[in-house]
């Protein structure tokens, strides 16, 4: 069973996506989707345990060794992010099922579930692939599914936003495919485990050009400033669960690809000044953009952009402490960002508006929904003792240990961004969650649970999924010690990939 375990996170959702073609009932289709994602979570957790105890787990598809065949690799980093991402995807799917039941939507169910599982298939492949070309394929699978999801049951504005998202993503894909071709022409391989040594043999100018092209391609995927412009115009137009899963996962897959490729293919010593400057600009532009937004989802989207800078912070330091902080921050942000967008979905569902100035005049949600906002909001702002504080503290300690002007500039910008994030979350709190006391006469049957009025079918599931994400964020803080130790070992793997290369190339050409 363990021999085929790396393939299951890709195969299960891919096979599950085809089940709606059998024309099963909606409850069976929903149950199957939930079961498939629960299976992916279990497979990811098993791979994490095996990778942590015994080293990277590999599967040579068809028995062909690298570089001739496709190799799936699960090391500590990929297994950790796969597990957390699958858990978030499961929670968001439960929220989407509840929202569909509460709003009695029927037409989109037959399209939503297979597209959602295809999205998870691409995500799993991106985390597990061992070569550059199949990383490109994974992004294309996610693009195809995400375009369907972002325009599902959409009006003219949503379709226009979906087209913007697709055009930018296709442009990035063309650049990515060109990069793969250039890398293969220069080195004769696209296997990640081989590329590090072969790229080191290239002239410095060509090697630097390939590194910058790769940074630009993945920078679009990860929404790094100034390549972020598509995100705030695309994500807020989608339904709440789609926005939540996009914000939580898609940009983090881009960040994972940056971590994997820059450390494995273009190792460095000392601070990477270009990326440090990019991280600083990303933090500042993102959070300042959030402060001037009146739309709740756009505010959260700009906050998402700003906090991508924290993940670049640790990578720019290019040492074990910095990468450990980045890994912790990615895990924290996946969970917290999903929770915030799900709570925003509940708030918009209740008030029927995403405009903060209009929310301020509506009855405030009940204490349960308010609590579900406060927990991830404080965590995102870095308030102790939440997970955001733990991750930011790790990054700040790494910067102090580095002791260079660039590291101190990163640390100062991170502190300023955290304070401005707290201010932005306070604005949301004041407008959306501190309005007039709930009026039972105004609260109709469409009020979500914990907000007021009767609880319609499906809204309990929406609340449970959101509460699960908020609780997971608390669990990340509670388990900060073991998680930090796993993150440190994963960071060592990135900086010293001898074991990774050995696992992939064992029995094959080096």
Pick from 13-27, 89-103, 142-156, 183-197 the range whose average pLDDT is largest.
Answer: 183-197
Burial 192-202 (b: 16+ CB within 10 A, else e): bbbbbeebeee
Lowest mean pLDDT among 20-29, 228-237, 390-399, 469-478: 20-29
pLDDT average, residue stretch 297-304: 92
**Res 28: pLDDT:** 78
The β-bridge partners of 60 are 71
112 near 82, Cβ under 8 Å?
no
What pLDDT is attached to residue 91?
93
CA angle 242, 245, 248 (to 5 degrees): 145
Q: Is the pLDDT of residue 68 over 70?
A: yes
Cα distances (angstroms) measured from residue 509 to each of 44, 185, 188: 29, 18, 12
- 3-state secondary structure at position 57: strand
- What are the pLDDT digits (tens) for 457-495? 567 888 999 999 999 999 999 999 999 999 999 999 999
How large is the average pLDDT for residues 251-265?
93
Average pLDDT, the chain: 86
Confidence of residue 447 (pLDDT cuts 50, 70, 90): very low
The conformational region for residue 171 under phi > 0 = left, psi -120 to 50 = alpha, else beta, is alpha
Report angle CA 44, 50, 54 to the nearest 5 degrees: 150
pLDDT on residue 450: 43
Question: What's the pLDDT band for 300 if we cut at 50, 70, 90?
Answer: very high
Mean pLDDT across 144-167: 80
Give mean pLDDT, residues 166-176: 89
Q: How many CA atoms lie within 13 A of 124 on its CB side?
A: 29
**For residue 76, is pLDDT > 50?**
yes
Mind listing the pLDDT tens digit for each residue in 181-199? 999 999 989 999 899 889 9
> What pLDDT digit, counting tens, does each position of 370-399 carry?
889 999 999 999 999 898 999 999 999 999
* pLDDT, position 445: 37
Please tell me the predicted confidence (pLDDT) of residue 52: 92
Q: What pLDDT, on the 0 to 100 scale, is given for residue 263? A: 92
Tens of pLDDT, residue by residue over 346-377, are 888 777 777 888 877 666 677 788 889 999 99
Checking if the pLDDT of 303 tops 50, the result is yes
Mean pLDDT of 317-329: 94
Phi and psi for 71 in degrees, rounded to 5?
Answer: -115, 130
Q: What is the mean pLDDT of residues 425-435?
A: 82
**Torsion angles phi and psi, residue 363, rounded to 5:** -60, 135
Q: Is residue 420 reached through a cis peptide bond, with omega within 30 degrees of 0 on the bond before it? A: no
């Amino acid at each position: 069973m363990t021999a085929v375990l790396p393939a299951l996170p890709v195969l299960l959702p891919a096979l599950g996506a085809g089940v709606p073609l059998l024309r099963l009932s909606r409850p069976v289709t929903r149950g199957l989707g939930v079961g498939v994602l629960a299976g992916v979570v279990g497979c990811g957790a098993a791979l994490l345990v095996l990778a942590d105890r015994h080293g990277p787990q590999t599967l040579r598809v068809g028995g062909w060794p690298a570089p001739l065949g496709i190799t799936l690799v699960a090391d500590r980093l990929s297994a950790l992010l796969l597990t957390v991402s699958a858990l978030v995807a499961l929670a968001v799917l439960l929220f989407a099922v509840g929202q569909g039941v509460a709003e009695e939507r029927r037409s989109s169910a037959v399209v939503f579930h297979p597209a959602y599982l295809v999205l998870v298939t691409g995500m799993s492949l991106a985390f597990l692939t061992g070569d550059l070309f199949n990383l490109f394929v994974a992004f294309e699978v996610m693009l195809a599914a995400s375009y369907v999801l972002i325009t599902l049951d959409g009006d003219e504005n949503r379709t226009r936003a979906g087209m913007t998202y697709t055009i930018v993503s296709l442009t990035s894909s063309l650049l990515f495919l060109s990069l793969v071709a250039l890398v293969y022409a220069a080195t004769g391989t696209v296997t990640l485990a081989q590329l590090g040594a072969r790229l080191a043999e290239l002239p410095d100018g060509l090697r630097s050009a390939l590194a910058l092209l790769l940074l630009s391609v993945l920078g679009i995927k990860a929404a790094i400033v100034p390549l972020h412009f598509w995100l705030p115009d695309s994500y807020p137009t989608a339904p709440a669960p789609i926005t939540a899963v996009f914000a939580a996962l898609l940009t983090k897959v881009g960040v994972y690809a940056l971590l994997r490729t820059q450390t494995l293919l273009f190792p460095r010593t000392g601070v990477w000044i270009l990326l440090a400057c990019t991280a600083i600009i990303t933090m500042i532009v993102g959070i300042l953009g959030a402060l001037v937004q009146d739309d709740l989802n756009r505010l959260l989207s700009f906050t998402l952009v700003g906090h991508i800078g924290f993940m670049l912070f640790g990578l720019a330091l290019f040492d074990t402490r910095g990468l450990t902080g980045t890994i912790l921050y990615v895990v924290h942000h996946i969970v917290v960002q999903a929770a915030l967008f799900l709570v925003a979905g509940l708030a918009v569902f209740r008030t029927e508006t995403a405009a903060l100035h209009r929310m301020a005049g509506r009855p405030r949600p009940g204490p349960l929904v308010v609590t579900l906002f406060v927990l991830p909001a404080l965590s995102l702002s870095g308030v102790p003792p939440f997970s955001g504080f733990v991750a930011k503290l790790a990054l700040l300690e790494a910067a102090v240990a580095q002791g260079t002007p660039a590291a101190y500039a990163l640390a100062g910008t991170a502190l300023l961004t955290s304070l401005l994030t707290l201010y932005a979350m306070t604005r949301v709190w004041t407008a959306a969650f501190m309005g007039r006391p709930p009026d039972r006469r105004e609260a109709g049957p469409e009020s979500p649970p914990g907000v007021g009025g009767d609880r319609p079918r499906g809204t309990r599931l929406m609340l449970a999924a959101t509460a699960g994400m908020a609780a997971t964020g608390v669990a990340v803080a509670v388990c900060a010690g073991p998680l930090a130790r796993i993150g440190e070992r994963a960071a060592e793997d990135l900086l010293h990939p001898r074991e990774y290369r050995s696992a992939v190339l064992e029995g094959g050409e080096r």
